[in-house]
């Protein structure tokens, strides 16, 4: 029912084939890139469908927003080229099934913060920055009613997203919300990139979490004391779906006096946390993950960062401990912002 709008003719006239030539996990020249993306668009098998680590980055690399990654996922499913072993796919699909009753629907009548499937991280939205802000999806037992489902892009299962997402949007809309601040990049990417790409209607406006944080920090500007920390940022895959908002990372760091260290794997060249790669079917995936993580962390270290900032809880789970073992402190962006206004986030010493 919902169909991806992919325009093959854009690829025919494309001057760069950036989608695949810039891919950090496959070495592809322009001619091959052109041939392969066209094959994929026409429903033919391509090595790209087998070797893609599902990092989302080509969504950002394509200069005309043609959605090459969404296309890859659709074709992986159509041609039965699952990126993950079958049990992991089934496990993932089952994970999103709500099982502890219906959520309580409070009428918001305005702006809200949506925790999505991270209701157990309420400790990350405490303090002045969030004062007076109504929050939805606050109960971990009910949070899968708010799960944006986009994770299934990693599973080669666009059909699951299309099947479940309209119901999730309806649940959010029942709160009578006008503007939804998305705690997670992935929700924001779902409502502002994926939904329009496949024709799912979204009856509310979405606001990126970092845009919200930046605006709130500006409102509290008088209370900011520069944190004077050298920081690196672990960019999550789903932030590739909202590259127009990525500048808020730098903007926030500037505002709170954090030095965004110069490094190789930054912004468009950011590396995947590895969480999705390690379970893939492709030979050597576990080692590939370790290699990506090693390069990433070495780069953070060499750049002299004291802190590695996360926004994605999945990246944090995958990399947080590794980062810490390397003498760099893993911190969530909201906690760093709280530090800047003199608050002490949970567990901060």
Interacting partner of 295 out of ligand SF4, other proteins, none (Cβ under 5 to 8 A depending on kind): none
126 binding other proteins? (CB under 8 A): no
Report if residue 97 touches other proteins, rule: CB under 8 A.
Answer: yes
Residues 320, 330: Cα–Cα separation, whole Å: 6
Which is closer to ligand SF4, CB of 11 or CB of 258? 11
Site residues (CB under 8 A) for other proteins, limited to 261-290: 275, 278-279, 281, 283-287, 290
**Phi/psi zone of residue 226: left (φ > 0), alpha (ψ -120 to 50 degrees), beta?**
beta
Q: Tell me phi and psi for residue 177, to 5 degrees.
A: -105, 150
The stretches of the chain forming alpha helices (DSSP H) are 8-12, 18-21, 30-41, 47-51, 57-61, 68-78, 86-95, 158-174, 185-189, 195-198, 209-219, 247-256, 285-302, 313-325, 333-340
With CB under 8 A as the contact rule, which of the stretches 95-103, 129-137, 164-172, 299-307 interacts with other proteins? 95-103
Q: In what helix (H) or strand (E) does residue 332 lie, and over which residues does it extend?
A: strand 329-332
Is residue 18 within 8 Å of 66, Cβ to Cβ?
Answer: no
Site stretch for ligand SF4 (CB under 6 A), options 64-72, 76-84, 248-256, 309-317: 64-72
211 binds, among ligand SF4, other proteins, none (CB under 5 to 8 A by kind): none
Closest approach of Cβ 121 to other proteins, in Å? 18
Regarding 321 and contact with other proteins (CB under 8 A), the answer is yes
Candidates 9, 15, 87, 131; binder of other proteins (CB under 8 A) is: 87
* Near ligand SF4 by CB under 6 A: residue from 40, 46, 49, 62: 62
Which among other proteins, ligand SF4, none contacts residue 99 (Cβ within 5 to 8 A by kind)? Answer: other proteins
The verdict on 85 binding other proteins (CB under 8 A) reads yes
Query: What are 230's strand-pairing partners?
Result: 259
**Can you tell me which of 40, 49, 55, 113 binds ligand SF4, judged by CB under 6 A?**
55
What is the spatial distance between Cα 341 and Cα 338, in angstroms, rounded to a whole number? 5
Positions in 217-246 near other proteins (CB under 8 A): none
Residue 86 within binding range of other proteins, rule CB under 8 A: yes
d(CA 325, CA 329): 9
SS3 assignment, position 15: coil
| Backbone φ and ψ of 145, nearest 5° | -70, -15
Whichever of 238 and 334 has its CB closer to ligand SF4, that residue is 238
Cα–Cα distance for residue pair 339/282, rounded to 1 Å: 42
2 binds ligand SF4 (CB under 6 A): no
Give yes or no for residue 17 binding ligand SF4 (CB under 6 A). Answer: yes
Residue number with CB closer to ligand SF4 (73 or 168) = 73
DSSP 3-state of 285: helix
Nearer Cβ to ligand SF4, position 68 or 330? 68
* Residue 80 zone, left/alpha/beta (φ > 0; ψ -120 to 50; rest): left
Q: Under DSSP, is residue 31 helix (H, G, I), strand (E, B) or coil?
A: helix
**Interface with other proteins: number of residues (CB under 8 A):** 25
Tokens 């959010």, residue located? 172
Q: What is the CA radius of gyration of the chain?
A: 20
Overall residue count recorded for the chain in this entry: 349
- Of ligand SF4, other proteins, none, which one does residue 306 interact with (CB within 5 to 8 Å by kind)? none
> Which is nearer to ligand SF4, 53 or 125 (by Cβ)?
53
DSSP classification of residue 152: G
**What is the SS3 assignment for 144?**
helix
Binds 321: which of ligand SF4, other proteins, none (CB < 5-8 Å by kind): other proteins
Q: How far apart are CA 315 and CA 103, in angstroms?
A: 27
Q: Are 292 and 274 in contact (CB under 8 A)?
A: yes
- Positions in the binding site for ligand SF4 (CB under 6 A): 10-11, 14, 17-19, 23, 25-26, 37, 48, 52-58, 62, 64, 66, 68-69, 72
- Positions in the binding site for other proteins (CB under 8 A): 82, 84-88, 90-92, 94-95, 97, 99, 275, 278-279, 281, 283-287, 290, 318, 321
């Amino acid at each position: 029912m919902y169909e991806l709008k992919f325009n093959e003719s854009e690829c025919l006239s494309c001057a760069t084939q950036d989608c695949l030539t810039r891919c950090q996990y496959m070495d592809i020249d322009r001619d091959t890139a052109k041939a392969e993306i066209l094959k994929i668009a026409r429903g033919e098998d391509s090595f790209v469908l087998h070797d893609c680590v599902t990092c989302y980055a080509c969504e950002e690399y394509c200069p005309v927003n043609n959605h090459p990654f969404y296309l890859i996922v659709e074709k992986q499913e159509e041609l039965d080229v699952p990126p993950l072993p079958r049990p992991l796919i089934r496990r993932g699909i089952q994970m999103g099934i709500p099982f502890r009753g219906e959520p309580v629907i409070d009428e918001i009548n305005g702006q809200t913060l949506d925790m999505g499937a991270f209701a157990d991280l309420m400790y990350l939205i405490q303090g002045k920055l969030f004062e007076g802000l109504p929050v939805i999806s606050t109960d971990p037992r009910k949070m899968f009613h708010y799960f944006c489902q986009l994770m299934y892009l990693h599973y080669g299962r666009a059909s699951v997203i299309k099947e479940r997402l309209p119901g999730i949007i309806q649940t959010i809309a029942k709160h009578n919300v006008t503007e939804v601040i998305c705690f997670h990049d992935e929700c924001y990417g779902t409502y502002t990139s994926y939904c329009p790409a496949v024709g799912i209607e979204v009856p509310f406006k979405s606001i990126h979490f970092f845009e919200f944080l930046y605006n709130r920090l500006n409102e509290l500007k008088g209370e900011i004391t520069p944190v004077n920390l050298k920081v690196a940022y672990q960019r999550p895959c789903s932030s590739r779906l909202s590259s127009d908002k990525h500048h808020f990372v730098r903007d926030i760091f500037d505002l709170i006096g954090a030095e965004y260290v110069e490094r190789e794997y930054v912004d468009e060249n950011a590396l995947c946390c590895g969480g999705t790669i390690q379970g893939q079917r492709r030979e050597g995936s576990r080692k590939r993950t370790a290699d990506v993580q090693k390069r990433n962390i070495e780069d953070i270290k060499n750049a002299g960062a004291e802190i590695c900032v996360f926004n994605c809880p999945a990246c944090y789970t995958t990399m947080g401990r590794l980062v810490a073992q390397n003498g760099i402190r893993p911190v969530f962006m909201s906690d760093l912002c709280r530090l800047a206004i003199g608050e002490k986030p949970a567990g901060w010493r």
